[in-house]
Amino acid sequence: MFSKVIDMNIFFECRKCRSRFSTEFLRCPICGGLLTANYDNLSWKPLNLNSIWRYSCLLPRNRTTIVTLGEGMTPIVEANNLAKVLGVKKLYIKDETRNPTGSFVDRGISVVVNNIEEDTKEIVCSTRGDTGASLAVYSARIKLKARIYVPRDVDLGKLYIMLLSGADVRIVPDFLTATYLAETESMQTKVVMETLPSYIEGLKTISFEIFEQLNMNIPDIIIVPVGSGALISAIWKGFEELRKLNLLDNTPRLVGVQVEGADPITMLFNRMKLEKMSAKTLARDTELFIPGLAETALEAVRRSGGVMISVSNTEIPRYIELLARTEGIIAEPSAVLSIIAISRILNSFIDADSEVLAVITGSGLRTPDVLRNLLPIEDMLRKVSEDIPRLATSRLGETKIQILTILKHKPLHGYGIKKELANRYNKNLSTATIYQHLRELENMGLVSRTRKVGKRGKVLYMVNN
C-alpha cells in the first residue's frame, strides 16, 4: 500500500541506490533501502497556525483537508531551577509532553495520516507503545480502522489509549514478532513504521519550532533520547533544511542518549562490537534497533559534531523525581535520559557558557506502573496517613476543634468535657450532643477512649498522637 503526494515539489529518494519516486513506500521497491523526503525547491513560509501544519510548505500531504489534533508548537521552558541543581548556565527544555497523546510521536503520526490516500480504510502498525497510542487516536478522528501489534510488556497507560480509541489491538510475545506481523500486511494495507519518510518529516518540525521560539537562534547543544534513531535524525534534517534556506549559519551539536545494556547506536558510534541487546530497562521505548535508522542517527550525530552516550538504568527514577520537583514536568523514563546526560557530559562536552536544550519526549502520566514504583503504594499510604489529622482538621467545625483543644491538656470523660466547654467557651451543649461529637472524632481517628481505674471505671477520651 502506498501514498502518492499531491505536492509535486516533494519526492522520495532512496538513501541507498538514490532512486527517486513520487510515491511514498515503506522501503525502496528497487533495492529495499530506506527512503527520505526531499524537495525540489525549499521555501520558508510559516502559516498562522498553532500546530506543525504551520510548516505545511515543508511537509508532505495527500489529504485536501488537514487532520490535526493540535500537535506541535510545544513550549520551550527556561529550566532555571534544574539548571542550578545540575550546574548548567543556561538550560532549556522542549516539553513534548504537551502533545495530544503526551508524546513527540504525535508530530510524525499527524503527517503520516495526512499523507495517506483519502479512500484508505485500514492502517496497521507495530509499536512498543507511543506510535500505537498516537495512531489509534488520529485514526479515530478520521474513522480509519487501526490494527496495532504490541508486545506483552507494553505500558498499560498507552495500551488504554489504544483500546479507548477503538483500535484493534493484537498482543504478541515481543516487539520483533509485532514488527514481522505488521510488515507481512504491507502489500495490502498501509503499514506505519518509524522508517516512513512522512513520519520523519513530522518529527523535524521540532527543529523549526526551536528556531522560531528562540528568536531565530539555536542552542549550542541539543540532547535527545535515542531509541530507533528516528527523532535525532529528524532534528538534524530540520536544522539542515534551515541551513540550506540560509536561515542558519551553524547547526547545534547533537547528543544522543541510550541506556546501558540497550545501547546499540552508542556502541556503533564508539566503534565497538555490536552484541545482542538483552537488558530490560525502565526506558522501554528505547529498546529497539532498526539498522537503517541507526545509520542516519549516527550520521546526524557525527555531522553535527556531537556524541552518543549511555547512562545507567538505575539513575532514571531519581532524575524523574528531580525534573518533577524542580520544573513541574512529569516525564516518562525514556524522556528523562536527556537530563541524566547533562550530568554525565558536564565539563567534558558541555562548556561552562554553553546553552543547552534537552528534549523531554513523553509524559510520565502514561506510565502509571513506573510512577507507582517510584513511590511504592505502602509509602504513599503511609504519607497520606500521616497527613490525615491535618487534612481532617481543616474540615472540622468549631465545636470539635474546641473539644480537641480541651483534650490536648488532659484526658476527660464526657461530663468533664461538657463543663470545660461551658467554662472556656460559654457553650452549653447536651450530654448526647457531646458524645455525638466524640464518636465522630473517634471515626476520624483523632481521639480514642480509655477506661479510668476505679470503682466506677469512667470512660476517658484523649487526643491521639
Per the structure, the count of domains in the chain is 3
User: Can you tell me which residue has the cell 522508517?
Assistant: 195
The Cα 187–Cα 444 span in angstroms is: 65
pLDDT at 274: 78
Residue 392 has pLDDT above 80, yes or no: no
168-172 sheet: strands from edge to edge = 168-172, 145-151, 122-126, 190-192
Same domain, 89 and 114: no
- Indicate yes or no: pTM above 0.95: no
Same domain, 224 and 330: yes
Tell me which of 129, 161, 194 is where a domain ends. Answer: 194
34 in a domain, yes or no?
no
By CB neighbour count within 10 A (0-12 exposed, 13-18 middle, 19+ buried), where does 376 fall?
exposed
3-state secondary structure 233-272: HHHHHHHHHHHHCCCCCCCCEEEEEEECCECHHHHHHCCC
How large is the average pLDDT for residues 62-79? 95
The Cα 37–Cα 54 span in angstroms is: 18
Same domain, 77 and 121: no
Nearest to 324 by CA among 95, 160, 130: 95
How large is the average pLDDT for residues 358-383? 75
Residue 332 has pLDDT above 50, yes or no: yes
Nearest to 209 by CA among 232, 233, 243, 242: 242
Domain limits at 137? Answer: 106-194
Residue 220 has pLDDT above 50, yes or no: yes
Residue 351 dihedral angles phi and psi, to the nearest 5°: -75, 165
Same domain, 331 and 344: yes
Let me know: does 309 contact 257? Beta carbons within 8 Å.
yes
Residue 399 has pLDDT above 70, yes or no: yes
What are the residues facing 350 on neighbouring strands?
A: 346
Same domain, 115 and 168: yes
237 in a domain, yes or no?
yes
Helices (H) and strands (E) in the chain, counts: 17, 17
The Cα 319–Cα 277 span in angstroms is: 24
pLDDT digit string, tens, across residues 225-262:
999 999 999 999 999 999 999 999 999 999 999 999 88
More confident residue, 387 or 418: 418
The CATH code of the domain that includes 431 is 1.10.10.10
49 in a domain, yes or no?
no
Tell me which of 194, 223, 249 is where a domain ends. Answer: 194
Let me know: does 275 contact 260? Beta carbons within 8 Å.
no
Residue 49 has pLDDT above 90, yes or no: yes
Same domain, 249 and 319: yes
23 in a domain, yes or no?
no
Any residues with CB less than 8 A from the CB of 393 and at least 6 apart, and which? 401, 404, 446
The Cα 385–Cα 389 span in angstroms is: 8
Let me know: does 77 contact 92? Beta carbons within 8 Å.
yes
Percent pLDDT > 70 in the chain is 91
Same domain, 190 and 86: no
Same domain, 412 and 263: no
456 in a domain, yes or no?
yes
33 in a domain, yes or no?
no
Any residues with CB less than 8 A from the CB of 82 and at least 6 apart, and which? 91, 93, 322, 323, 326, 327, 339
pLDDT digit string, tens, across residues 106-165:
999 999 999 998 888 999 999 989 999 999 999 999 999 999 999 998 888 899 999 999
3-state secondary structure of 426: coil
50 in a domain, yes or no?
no
How large is the average pLDDT for residues 203-219? 96
The CATH code of the domain that includes 338 is 3.40.50.1100
Same domain, 74 and 139: no
User: Whole-number mean pLDDT of the chain?
Assistant: 89
Amino acid at 61: R
Same domain, 261 and 112: no
Tell me which of 331, 358, 374 is where a domain ends. Answer: 374
pLDDT at 7: 53
pLDDT digit string, tens, across residues 99-111:
999 999 999 999 9
Same domain, 336 and 413: no
18 in a domain, yes or no?
no
Same domain, 157 and 300: no
Read off the C-alpha cell for 306: 556531537
Any residues with CB less than 8 A from the CB of 401 and at least 6 apart, and which? 393
